A and B are shown apart, each in its own frame.
Chain A
């Protein structure tokens, strides 16, 4: 049973437009959510996170929105750039400050078209 779901395996966006990547989770115990970006032949790199006490976190072009009641989060990239083309993983855990297993979604491959 997938606890973290990313229902869109791929997404194509024109350069300069907004990219919206969606993620749904099933475990109501999840308290901390992360987005990772992965380029081919590299390990995932941390992008942005949000804890359950917030509904929005912004870092430059990247904003993550959390809707706890819907168990849904989304990553917005504005404006999208060709260098953003990568696989984006949504991940969740039950806590931020101490270890708890992080569950990853299957990923969404984003292509930003120049």
Chain B
């Protein structure tokens, strides 16, 4: 299955600032996905990132808050903008592998203070 490198692994950020999370895959993939796992909650899909097109956002998530870039078939970034403590979560990138379902990165643990 794919190997996904995600960074940073964790960060503590000030309220009102922005953080960009990077996701690198070891092979070309059409779709990359960004998830959020809030404390004590399940994984929630934020958006789907296709190379060469605008990301598709799920209900409750907007581009101004979570801008996504997908410059090529192996890389994507998610920015968490104008952060508040409610944005404290684990953010995960993921790719789809038919046989193995989804492969996830190790996640970015974000704490907003």
Name A residues whose Cβ lies closer than 8 Å to a Cβ of B. Answer: 4, 34, 36, 41-46, 49, 89, 91, 96-97, 99, 101-102, 104-107
List, in ascending order, chain B residues with CB within 8 A of A49's CB.
101
Given contacts A104-B42, A106-B41, A107-B42, whether A43 and B105 have CB atoms under 8 Å apart is yes
Q: Which residue of B lies closest to A97 (CB)?
A: B98
* Chain B residue contacts of A44, Cβ below 8 A: 43, 92, 102, 104
**Complex-state Cα separation, A97 to B99, whole angstroms:** 8
Are B102's CB and A105's CB within 8 A? no
Number of B interface residues at 8 Å Cβ cutoff, please give it: 25
In the complex formed, the residue of A with least CB distance to B6 is: A43
Q: 0/1 per residue, B77-113, Cβ < 8 Å to A?
A: 0000000000000001010101011111111010000
9 CB < 8 A contacts A-B: A4-B42, A45-B104, A46-B102, A89-B43, A91-B101, A96-B98, A101-B45, A104-B43, A106-B42
Q: A41-B109, A106-B41 are in contact. Are A99 and B104 (CB under 8 A)?
A: no
Asked whether any CB of chain A lies closer than 8 Å to the CB of B31, the reply is yes
Residue of A with least CB distance to B102: A102
Cβ of B27 under 8 Å from chain A: no
Complex-state Cα separation, A4 to B107, whole angstroms: 22
B20 contacts the other chain (CB 8 A) = no
| C-alpha gap A45/B1 in the complex (Å) | 10
Residue of B nearest to A35 (CB): B101
- Inter-subunit contact A42/B43 (CB<8 Å): no
- 10 extra A-B contacts, CB within 8 A, seeds A4-B42, A43-B4, A43-B94: A41-B9, A43-B92, A44-B92, A46-B103, A89-B42, A97-B98, A99-B31, A101-B45, A102-B45, A105-B42
Q: Mark B38-55, 1 if CB is under 8 A from A, else 0.
A: 000111110010000000
A residues near B96, Cβ cutoff 8 Å: 99
Q: Which of A41, A89, A97 contacts B106 (CB 8 A)?
A: A41
